[in-house]
Amino acid sequence: MRGRLVVTYGVAAVIGLLAGCSSSGKGGAGALGTPDPTPAATATATATVTATATATVTATASAPAKLTTPEAAAKHLYNAWMAGDKTTAGQGAASSAVTALFAKTWKTGTYFFGGCSTATQCQYNYATGAIMMTISGSASAGYVVTNVEFGSAG
């Protein structure tokens, strides 16, 4: 911008000097009697526009698809415990079952699914005991874990 103004004013100064020269020596009229050119000042303005956009994204946890077997309910709760995700755990279990399970710390390589002995009882086994999960519901309504207990091996 600064260089442009200098060049513009420099050109205007040269035009002004040339306008003062004439072949007739009258100091104002050109060779053909034309009036002196009037130097014009040129200014350039630059504006900077800044636009800001704000977006708000709200994520909501949705309930999982209906848990259609007791095993699915037990595994859903176990996987949420393994991930440390109480919110997801609560989507397929009673709050008391979530609280009981999350009272213990999940340990890598310790637990394995022992199966479901009935439609109301599933378990995870470990070296010194078992996690027993009581399940309620139906295939049409969905199953949920209603209780969690830790038992010793024996």
**Domain range list for the chain:** 1-50, 70-152
Question: What does the pLDDT look like over 9-40, one tens digit per residue?
Answer: 433 433 443 344 444 444 444 444 545 555 55
Pick the closest to residue 113 from 97, 100, 99, 126 (CA basis): 126
Residue 42 predicted with pLDDT over 50 = yes
Work out the pLDDT band at 133, boundaries 50, 70, 90: very high
Q: Is the pLDDT of residue 73 over 60?
A: yes
**Number of neighbouring beta carbons within 10 Å of residue 3:** 7
Going edge to edge, which strands form the sheet with 121-126? 112-118, 121-126, 129-138, 142-152
pLDDT bucket at 141, cuts 50 / 70 / 90:
very high
Would the pLDDT of 64 be above 70? no
Report the pLDDT averaged over residues 101-122: 92
Could you tell me the CA-to-CA distances from 98 to 55, 104, 145 in Å, in that order? Answer: 35, 11, 9
Of 40 and 59, the one with more pLDDT: 40
